[in-house]
Amino acid sequence: MSRKPDIQTMLWMYKHMVLSRRYEEALAEAYLEGKQPLFNMANGPLPGEMHLSNGQEPCAVGVCAHLLDHDVVTATHRPHHIAIAKGVNLRAMTAEIFGKQTGLAGGRGGHMHLIDPAVNFACTGIVGEGLAPAAGAALARKMRGEDGIAVAFIGEGAANQGAFHETLNLAAVWNLPFVCVIEDNSYGISVPKGAATSVLHNDVRAASYGIRGYHVEGNDPLRIYEVAGEAIERARAGKGPSLIEIETYRLAGHFMGDAESYRPAGEKDALFARDPIPKFRQELVDAGAASSDDLLWIEEDAKSCVAELIDFAKAEAYAPVQEALEKVFV
């Protein structure tokens, strides 16, 4: 049932991986403005916590390549790569991350609270919170006989929340068009997976709920694409929910400002040596899917797109402060 992406899809995947990376690099730069030498989280144009997803781009593109606008995605405190791959309006998203009036929520949400109803994307700052609402979205689609499935992205740490187990059981009992995607980046903040999780791989937990479990190694966008394709096709066909755990890694700290002293020496260097973007690039060239020049064009395009987004968001105005009192109810 599983199949490989065609060339066009592969280029779409590469493009969105690169876009996400450039995007987060630009955010990181803006984030540090006003925070040196004293790193005070309250300062600069991008205050508050900032969780970057660089290194995890393959998970977002490999899954979202199969999704349409009407498919529902919930993501986490580390949402940018998924939002980008799901097609969230990037101008409104960037303005929101900078807290501006033209942002998705007029500046009320911020980077952990990006909601774009047009493409059925939402994320949350509470670990595990997105799971059950995603299952509920799948339930709504099913009850109304509508097209569309739901995918909940979580980190491997969230698989130890009660909500994870309750939601999988529920989705299984009701045979919902639901897929849970675990991005296993080895850590929940400073705590390594092995110190917090009773099983080596979370996909085995699917057996407890009588659903399909998949494990994808190597942070490989093509493998992720194939496995996600199978799970999503099953969901669309009414064959029930699946659980996918993807081995990935975060190249940055948990949040910006994380000293990462919990990492073993040399770990970061080893991770950067396995950076999925140059690796995928080489694969595309080797497979004859694209020439190096074609890819260069994609990369330049991503750069200028990001520059435009950041300039735009920075130039936008903050909402009048009284607007903080609005929209508590619709």
Partner 1 sequence: MMAAEKKRIRKLTIAKAMSEAIDQAMTSNPDVFVMGEDVGKLGGVFGTTTGLFDKYGPDRVRDTPISETGFIGAAAGAAVMGMRPVVELMFIDFFGVCMDVIYNFAAKNSYFSGGRQAVPMVLMTSAGGGYSDGGQHSQCLYTTFAHLPGLKVVMPSNAYDAKGMMTAAINDDNPVIFIFHKSLQGMGWLGTAKGAIVDVPETVYEVPLGKANISREGSDITVVGFGNTVHHALDAARDLALEGISAEVVDLRSLAPLDRETVLASVRKTGRLLAVDDDHLSYGWTGEVIASVAEAGIALKCPARRIAYPDVPVPFARPMEQFLLPNAEKVKAAVLSLMNSVVSV
Partner 2 sequence: MQIKIEDDFWQGDDEAVITAWLVDDGAEVAEGDVVAEMMLAKVQMEIEAPCSGVIHIEMEAEVPLKKGMVIATIDQ
Binding site for ligand TPP (CB under 6 A): 76-78, 125-127, 154-158, 185, 187-189, 254
The closest of 228, 223, 216 to 65, measured between CA atoms, is 228
CB-nearer residue toward partner 1: 1 or 42: 42
- Quick note: the x/- pattern for partner 1 over 38-77, rule CB under 8 A, is xxxxx----xxx----------------------------
Query: Within 10 Å of residue 176's Cβ, how many Cβ atoms?
Result: 26
User: With CB cut-offs between 5 and 8 Å by kind, which of ligand TPP, Mg ion, partner 1, none does residue 273 bind?
Assistant: none
Complex with partner 1: residue 65 or 154, whichever CB lies closer: 154
* Structure tokens given for 120: 């059925």
36 binds partner 2 (CB under 8 A): yes
Whole-Å CA distances, 266 to 12, 107, 248, 269, 273: 33, 39, 17, 5, 11
Residue 107 touches which of partner 1, partner 2, ligand TPP, none (Cβ within 5-8 Å per kind) = partner 1
49 contacts partner 2 (rule: CB under 8 A): no
Distance CA 271, CA 266 (A): 9
Of the ranges 120-128, 201-209, 229-237, 288-296, which one interacts with partner 1 (CB under 8 A)? 120-128
Kindly state whether residue 185 participates in binding Mg ion, applying the rule CB under 5 A: yes
- Judged by CB under 8 A, the chain residues 174 through 213 that form the site for partner 1 are 188-191, 195-197
Out of 39, 272, 297, 318, the residue judged to bind partner 2 by CB under 8 A? 39
Instruction: Rule CB under 8 A: say whether 111 interacts with partner 1.
Output: yes
Report long-range pairs for 43-50 (Cβ below 8 Å, ≥24 apart).
45/98, 45/314, 46/97, 46/98, 46/111, 48/110, 48/111, 49/77, 49/111, 49/112, 49/255, 49/256, 50/111, 50/255, 50/256
Please state the length of the chain. 330
Mapping DSSP to helix (H, G, I), strand (E, B) and coil, where does residue 178 land? strand
Q: Which residue is nearest to Mg ion (CB)?
A: 155
Task: Work out whether strand 150-155 and strand 72-75 pair parallel, antiparallel, or are unpaired.
Answer: parallel
* Touching partner 2, residues 226-265 (CB under 8 A): 253, 257-259, 261
Rounded Cα gap, residues 189 and 202, in angstroms: 18
Please choose which of partner 1, Mg ion, ligand TPP, none residue 99 contacts, taking the beta carbon within 5 to 8 angstroms, the exact cut-off set by kind: partner 1
For residue 187, the minimal CB distance to ligand TPP (Å) is 6
Q: Which does 78 bind (CB under 5 to 8 A by kind): ligand TPP, Mg ion, partner 2, none?
A: ligand TPP
Q: How do strand 191-192 and strand 178-184 relate by DSSP bridges?
A: unpaired
**Site residue total, Mg ion (CB under 5 A):** 5
From the list 1, 38, 143, 195, which residue makes contact with partner 2 (rule: CB under 8 A)? Answer: 38
With a CB cutoff of 8 Å and minimum separation 6, the contacts of 285 are 291, 292, 295
CB 221 within 8 A of CB 227: no
Q: Which residues make up the interface to Mg ion (CB under 5 A)?
A: 155-157, 185, 188
